[in-house]
């Protein structure tokens, strides 16, 4: 989930990133966007919330909301506005229950799945020597409101707000590490200074599953993606591409 906030109108919008624990098998130590896998409870909820989308799509959006709460303490994707104190209670209850449905009922919250904007889908099916995940990216806007975030201390070790452009500069300076999909999406996001700009592009570019391929360019192997899906950089030399 790519979560935007813009506390200063004179500056580019910020996005939230988390640094994964180095103990994790996939992307350990990497800076990524909040998110995680779809759980059975997410699919059960999706059957009642699909409406204008497939159950599978609803399940992925519910998983994105649940994982964001668990990992960061931010409550997004609801019809109701949630303050910091209540968000902390929601997170604690979710960690205790392990599923989202009873937590929403307890706090009288209703999902607003339509507020999550589909942005991209990555599924490196043909890649060897890497773990394969079907990953969907969504955009969510916090606006200008104050937010409280706290690391979950299990899967992640740090949270930070940054512009997409600054995240790329940090990666170039070696201050953070990012895997190939994260870097490509940061480059795409860095084209815009606001959530609105990213949203408009997302609504005009089709969601097509991206499966990177290895190609030869100028006699060197590169990891490549299609050039018609909104990404300003579509390949990177294989030796430098971090794949998890």
pLDDT value for 95: 92
Q: CATH number of the domain at 75, please.
A: 3.90.79.10
Domain count, the chain: 1
Please state the φ and ψ torsions of residue 106, each to the nearest 5 degrees: -65, -40
Measured distance CA(218)–CA(145) in Å, rounded? 49
Beta bridge partners of 214: 223
Please check whether residue 122 is in contact with residue 137, taking contact to mean a CB–CB distance below 8 angstroms. yes
DSSP state, residue 104: H
- 243 in a structural domain: no
* pLDDT tens per residue across span 169-228: 999 999 999 999 999 999 999 999 999 999 999 999 999 999 999 999 999 999 999 999
Over 90: is that where the pLDDT of 237 sits? yes
* pLDDT tens per residue across span 57-80: 999 999 999 999 999 999 999 999
- 87 in a structural domain: yes
* pLDDT tens per residue across span 85-114: 899 999 999 999 999 999 999 999 999 999
C-alpha separations of 60 from 69, 140, 209, 214 in Å:
14, 14, 15, 28
Output the average pLDDT for the chain.
90
> pTM of the prediction?
0.91
Which residue range is the domain that position 213 belongs to?
2-237
């Amino acid at each position: 989930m790519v979560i935007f906030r813009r506390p200063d109108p004179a500056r580019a919008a910020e996005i939230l990133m988390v640094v994964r624990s180095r103990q994790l098998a996939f992307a350990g130590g990497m800076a990524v966007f909040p998110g995680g896998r779809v759980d059975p409870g997410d699919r059960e909820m999706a059957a009642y919330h699909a409406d204008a989308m497939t159950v599978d799509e609803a399940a992925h959006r519910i998983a994105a909301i649940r994982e964001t709460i668990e990992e960061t303490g931010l409550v997004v994707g609801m019809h109701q506005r949630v303050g910091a104190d209540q968000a902390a209670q929601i997170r604690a209850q979710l960690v205790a229950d392990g599923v989202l449905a009873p937590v929403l009922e307890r706090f009288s919250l209703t999902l607003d799945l339509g507020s999550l904007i589909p942005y991209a889908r990555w599924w490196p099916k043909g890649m060897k020597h890497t773990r394969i995940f079907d990953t969907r990216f969504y955009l969510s806007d916090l606006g200008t409101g104050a937010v409280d975030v706290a690391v979950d201390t299990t899967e992640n070790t740090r949270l930070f707000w940054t512009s997409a452009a600054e995240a790329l500069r940090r990666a170039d300076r070696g201050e953070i590490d990012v895997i190939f999909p994260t870097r490509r999406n940061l480059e795409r996001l860095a084209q815009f200074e606001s959530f609105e700009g990213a949203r408009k592009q997302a609504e005009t570019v089709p969601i097509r599953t991206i499966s990177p391929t290895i190609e030869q360019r100028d006699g060197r192997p590169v990891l490549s993606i299609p050039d018609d899906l909104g990404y300003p950089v579509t390949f990177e030399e294989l030796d430098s591409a971090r794949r998890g």
